[in-house]
Structures are given as C-alpha cells and as structure tokens.
C-alpha cells in the first residue's frame, strides 16, 4: 500500500478520528469493567464486603505494573509501527511487530514467576494490613498466574488499531470484558470461590482476548503478520520501541507508586475504610478516564502516520478535535460526581461508614477533573511525534512530580482531608504546565514552512528529537 492510498494520510480528519477513536473509547470503557466489575461483585458479597474491596485495592498497584508493561511494548511498538508505515517501510514495520510480541511474552513470563515467589512481601510493602492480607493474597496469586495473558492482550491490541483494525480491537475488548462479567457472579456467588474466583474470571477473560488478537497476526487475516524471522529481538528496534513506550510506561508505573503511597497514607490516617473508599474512587476515575485513553489511542496513529508523511496541518487538526472531545467527556464525568456522589459509591458497597467517607472523597478528589482530558492528550502528543523525552516529563508531572509530594505534605498538615485535596491541586497545576509546553510544540509546527497540506518538506519539525 502506498502512502497516498493509506487513509491515515488522505481521509478527512474528523472521519478518521471517529473511525479510530470511537471503537477504542468503547473498547477501553469495556476493558475498564475488568477491575470495576470485580470490585462491584466483591464489595456486595456478604463474605467479602469492605475487606474484599480493600484487598483488591492493595493489589491494584501491582496490576498497574502489569498494565504498564503492556503499554511500554504495545504503545511504543505500535507508535513505531505506524511511523514506519507512514515512511512506506512495511518490512521494517513487521520487524517492530515481531519484536514487540517477543518482549510482551517474555515480560509476562517474568512477572508470573516473580509474583509467585515474592507475593507476600509485595503485598506487605504495598500496605496490606493483617486483616486485608488474606484477601489480597487470594486475588493476586491467581492474577500473577495470568500475567502473560494480560500483558500480551493489552500490548498487541494497540497493533490492531495501528494496522487499521480499530473495530476488531474493540471487539477483542468486548469479548474479554463480557466474559469477565459472566464469569464473575458464577465463580463468586455460585461456586463460592471468593477473591480467587474474581481473579480467575479476570485471567480467563484476558486469555480469550489474547487468543483473539494473536489469531489475527498469525494468520492471513492480518495486513501485516508476525513472522518467525522477526521474533528474534534486535537491539536497535528494541531500543526504539522502548523509547517511544517509556512515557506511557512511566505514567502507569507512577500510578502504581502513587497508589502504594496513597494506600499507606490512607491506612495511617483513615484505616481500612479509607483504603476501601479509595478503591471506589479508583474505579470511578478509571471509568471516566478510560475514554480519554481510548481517544488518545485513536488519535496516535493519525498523528504518527502524518508525522512520518510530514503532513503537519493534519496533525494540528487531529489534536484540536481530540482535545475538544476529551474535555467534553471529562466534563460529563465531573458533573456526575457533583450530582450523584452517594449513588455512585452505593453501587460498590452500602456499609454506612464507607458510604459516608466515599461520598465525601468522591466530591473532593475530582474537583479539577475537567482539565485532565487535555493534560493526557497534550502530553502524549509529543510521544506520537517522536519526542519521547518531552512526553515523559509531562506524563510524570501530574502523578509523580506533583501529586505524590502533595499527598505527603498535605497529609502531614491536614491529615485525611489533605490527602483528598492533593488531587485537585496536582490536576490544576499539571494542566497549566502541560498547556504551556503544548502551546510551544504546536507553535513550532505553525512556524514550519509548508507550501500545502500534502507537500513534503525538507525540515523535520515533526520528528525532531528532544535534546
């Protein structure tokens, strides 16, 4: 396929954004149901309740680490894959595909082994109390057995979108999450398997998603396939994949670190109830922000391809539309947290003490939610145009550079209230910093001399590496 024939370089931007982002948004929202559905069923199970919620909340940082690896090699690989296709180098693109697959499988196996060996010390490190530890162990031991399924399915799903199959990527997520929703009540309530049952439903669902994705890339269905000759890791390809995946990887890794610090702080100032309440906040936040992650996944191939093709006006159009859509999504979520906080919390658990704390926590934590859609898209814009250093700094600003220090400082000054209001402080300031950086990045594209929207130019403004 020539560059002119690829719709990423020629089709109307609004149509492309809808085509690529809508399935990704729906798919990511469905994917978010894995953890959310587990929490709903666990929180409402009479023999699990708030301790079960706390147990899965303690394990959540570990699941974020697994997710971060899928993003590292999946998003990084798919971004490089798209750039190579934009440069009309399909064989190089297939090398990227094969190498990314190998990296995902190997990392999943490493997590599976390490997780079984170090499970108890990890959960203690991440803040599990004596009361909560058995619940966390039962859940996370099974999750680690399925680490390969989660890492590979999440990582390779990015290549489906980059290969021009956004609908198939969405169907893959639907199949997995739908299976999880069916198996959860069966294992928890019918078979009385408790926390282990919830985890087993999750990994079986992820195994189904992985099989679905790989059936595309290992058969003639795929436009580009995984060939044995491309599976052997090549140093330069691995380095490029890793460099482009680092921003998203560090964002998720920082989320894990954030949750560890948050859980420990909550345990110190509010006990198991506060940890359970934060589990509910995590679920709400995941459901609200997953559409933004999907939108980001949809716009990245458009930006990356047109970066390789040097069509800068199309990049600017895509980012403008994506930011408008992201802001509308998070604003809707914010309004729901203002209007129905108690109803949202009661979906997960109705214990009076947890309901009181959770309602207040939802109101406080999400004060500046409307600016987060812009912050996420603007930060990852630099990743899509092959400026991973800028993307890394900006993705870390909110979670690492601002929120973690704010939790530590604010908690010492104002206790539990300080923890809750650390989030809006970090949200507002990170959006301001990212906005300034993004304005300069877009201005550099505006100042690039372009004869026409499709005219190739000598200056490599889009692919300029960070110093």
Can you say whether residue 436 is alpha, beta or left, with left for phi > 0 and alpha for psi between -120 and 50 degrees? alpha
Given a cut of 90, is residue 23 above it in pLDDT?
Answer: no
Question: Distance (Å, rounded) from C-alpha 37 to C-alpha 422?
Answer: 27
Band of pLDDT at residue 20, cut at 50, 70 and 90:
confident
261 lies in some domain:
yes
Asked if 295 and 75 count as a contact pair (C-beta separation under 8 A), the reply is: no
Asked if 66 and 288 count as a contact pair (C-beta separation under 8 A), the reply is: no
Gyration radius of the chain's alpha carbons: 22
Residue 454 has what pLDDT? 34
62 lies in some domain:
yes
Distance of CA 2 to the CA centre of its chain: 32
Band of pLDDT at residue 114, cut at 50, 70 and 90:
very high
Question: Distance (Å, rounded) from C-alpha 34 to C-alpha 181?
Answer: 8
Q: How many residues appear in the chain?
A: 467
Written as six digits, the tokens of 180 are: 């999880």
Written as six digits, the tokens of 273 are: 């109830």
Q: What rounded mean pLDDT belongs to the chain?
A: 88
- The Cβ of residue 236 has, within 10 Å, a number of other Cβ atoms equal to 9
**pLDDT one-digit tens code per residue, 432-444:** 999 999 998 888 7
Residue recorded with tokens 């282990």: 196
- The Cβ of residue 198 has, within 10 Å, a number of other Cβ atoms equal to 31
3-state secondary structure of 458: coil
217 lies in some domain:
yes
1 lies in some domain:
no
452 lies in some domain:
no
**pLDDT one-digit tens code per residue, 56-77:** 999 989 998 998 999 999 999 9
Residue 456 has what pLDDT? 37
Average pLDDT over residues 291-311: 85
- Please give the torsion angle defined by the CA atoms of residues 305, 307, 312 and 318, in that order, rounded to the nearest 10 degrees: 50
**pLDDT one-digit tens code per residue, 303-355:** 888 877 778 888 999 999 999 999 999 999 999 999 999 999 999 988 899 99
State whether the Cα torsion 250-171-299-156 is positive or negative: positive
Q: 15: which residues sit within 8 A by CB, 6+ positions away? A: none
Domain range for residue 68?
11-446
461 lies in some domain:
no
240 lies in some domain:
yes
Residue 300 has what pLDDT? 87
Asked if 249 and 72 count as a contact pair (C-beta separation under 8 A), the reply is: yes
Q: 41: which residues sit within 8 A by CB, 6+ positions away? A: 184, 185, 188, 189, 198
Given a cut of 80, is residue 35 above it in pLDDT?
Answer: no
Given a cut of 90, is residue 219 above it in pLDDT?
Answer: no
Burial of 392 (0-12, 13-18, 19+ CB in 10 A): buried
Residue 450 has what pLDDT? 38
451 lies in some domain:
no
Asked if 240 and 80 count as a contact pair (C-beta separation under 8 A), the reply is: yes
Given a cut of 50, is residue 295 above it in pLDDT?
Answer: yes
The tally of domains found in the chain comes to: 1
Band of pLDDT at residue 386, cut at 50, 70 and 90:
confident
Written as six digits, the tokens of 4 are: 């002119």
Band of pLDDT at residue 462, cut at 50, 70 and 90:
low
Question: Distance (Å, rounded) from C-alpha 267 to C-alpha 283?
Answer: 19
Given a cut of 70, is residue 39 above it in pLDDT?
Answer: yes
């Amino acid at each position: 396929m020539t560059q002119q024939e690829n719709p990423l370089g020629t089709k109307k931007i609004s149509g492309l954004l809808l085509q690529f982002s809508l399935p990704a948004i729906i798919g990511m929202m469905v994917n978010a149901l894995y953890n959310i559905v587990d929490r709903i069923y666990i929180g409402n199970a009479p023999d699990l309740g708030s301790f079960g919620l706390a147990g899965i909340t303690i394990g959540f940082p570990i699941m974020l680490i697994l997710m971060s690896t899928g993003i590292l090699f999946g998003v990084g690989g798919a971004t490089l894959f798209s750039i190579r296709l934009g440069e009309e180098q399909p064989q190089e693109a297939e090398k990227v595909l094969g190498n990314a697959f190998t990296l995902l499988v190997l990392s999943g196996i490493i997590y599976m082994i390490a997780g079984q060996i170090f499970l108890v010390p990890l959960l203690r490190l991440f803040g599990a109390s004596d009361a909560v530890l058995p619940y966390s162990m039962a859940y996370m031991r099974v999750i680690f057995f399925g680490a390969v399924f989660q890492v590979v399915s999440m990582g390779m799903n990015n290549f489906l979108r980059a290969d021009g199959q956004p609908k198939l990527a969405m169907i893959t997520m639907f199949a997995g999450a739908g299976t999880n929703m069916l198996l959860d009540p069966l294992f928890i309530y019918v078979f009385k398997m408790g926390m282990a049952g919830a985890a087993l439903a999750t990994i079986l669902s992820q195994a189904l998603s992985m099989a679905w994705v790989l059936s595309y890339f290992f058969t003639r269905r795929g436009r580009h396939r995984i060939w044995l000759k491309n599976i052997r890791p090549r140093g330069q390809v691995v380095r490029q994949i890793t460099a482009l995946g680092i921003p998203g990887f560090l964002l998720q890794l920082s989320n894990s670190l954030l949750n560890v610090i948050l859980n420990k702080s909550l345990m110190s100032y509010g006990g198991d109830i506060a940890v359970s309440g934060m589990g509910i906040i995590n679920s709400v936040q995941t459901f609200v922000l997953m559409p933004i992650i999907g939108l980001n996944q949809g716009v990245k191939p458009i930006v990356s391809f047109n970066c390789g093709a040097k069509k800068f006006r199309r990049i600017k159009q895509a980012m403008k539309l994506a930011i408008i859509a992201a802001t509308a999504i998070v604003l809707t979520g914010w309004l729901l947290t203002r209007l129905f906080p108690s109803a949202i919390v009661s979906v997960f658990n109705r214990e009076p003490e947890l309901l009181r704390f959770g309602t207040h926590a939802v109101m406080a934590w999400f004060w500046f939610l409307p600016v987060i859609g812009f912050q996420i898209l603007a930060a990852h814009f630099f990743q899509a145009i092959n400026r991973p250093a800028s993307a890394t700094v900006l993705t870390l600003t909110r979670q690492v550079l601002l929120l973690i220090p704010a939790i530590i400082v604010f908690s010492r000054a104002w206790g539990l209230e300080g923890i809750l209001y650390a989030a809006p402080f970090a949200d507002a300031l990170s959006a301001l910093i990212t906005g300034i950086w993004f304005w300069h990045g877009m201005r550099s594209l505006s100042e690039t001399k372009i004869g026409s929207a499709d005219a190739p130019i000598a200056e490599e403004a889009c692919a300029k590496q960070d110093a």
